[in-house]
Homo-oligomer: A and B are copies of this chain.
Amino acid sequence: MSMQDTASSGVALWRLVADGIERGIADGRFAAGDKLPGEMEIAETYRVNRHTVRRALAALAERGLVRAERGSGTYVEAQKLAYPLRSRTRFSEIVGAEGREPHGRLIEATGDVATRELARELGLKTGAPLVRIEAIRLADRTPICVSTTWLSADLFPDAGAVFAATRSMTKLLAHYGVRDYRRGATRITAGIVDATDAARLDLALGRPILVVDATDHDLTGKPLVTKHSRFAAERVEFLVES
């Protein structure tokens, strides 16, 4: 540090700038997708040289927190949520483990009837009565995924109301006496978000999504719920344990 006027602190200036910007991202002053102030402006606010700001931004970019676009500006990258896919998958636990605040919101809960595919997944007959739950899951107020969940209306009456109250699939199942459950095979595909999901996920049209289809079973192997989830690809990355 060539700060002739100040005693050396042992902490590089660019580090202080980077920490300051990161704090701004963490506490929401800069939201995901926001454009940061220009390098010159940041340099002025921190009273440092533009190159020092660039060093700070480079460090943040390497960690994936920001992304610079030449001629346009530097933008806050939505930090991708590391989402491990295991037999025991609980959204709230995964989000909480990342130090973020999990949150669920019910969009609607309606009755439905089983298609042949749904019936096969849930071990029911085609046309059997189902409860369909549409929900959004968020981490730190950022939408991560919308999911459509089907349950047997016979086994889980009023499931919609219970989910609305608990906002958690785990708690919903617990309400019906399911103490533990496991995820069966998980199918992952990718696609382009449709208008409805784009609005729900606060995602621009044309952006890619990760589509996950999975069925949860109780410990005896009996199917409980089957889900069709659409994840904002730019906000999540799945981790599959080897």
Residues of A within 8 A of B (CB): 8-12, 14-15, 18, 59
Note all chain B residues with C-beta closer than 8 A to A18: 10
Choose among B9, B14, B59 the residue that contacts A15 (Cβ–Cβ < 8 A).
B9
- Would you call the interface of chain A mostly helix, strand, loop, or mixed? mixed
Copies of this chain assembled into the complex: 2
C-alpha gap A15/B14 in the complex (Å): 16
12 contacts between A and B (CB under 8 A): A8-B12, A9-B15, A10-B11, A10-B12, A10-B14, A10-B15, A10-B18, A10-B59, A11-B11, A11-B12, A11-B15, A12-B12
Q: In the assembled complex, which residues on chain B have CB atoms less than 8 Å from the CB atom of A11?
A: 10-12, 15
Q: How far is the CB of A152 from chain B (nearest CB, A)?
A: 52
Instruction: Give the Cβ gap from A64 to chain B, nearest Cβ, in Å.
Output: 15
Q: Which residue of B lies closest to A1 (CB)?
A: B12
Bound Cα distance from A176 to B158, whole angstroms: 64
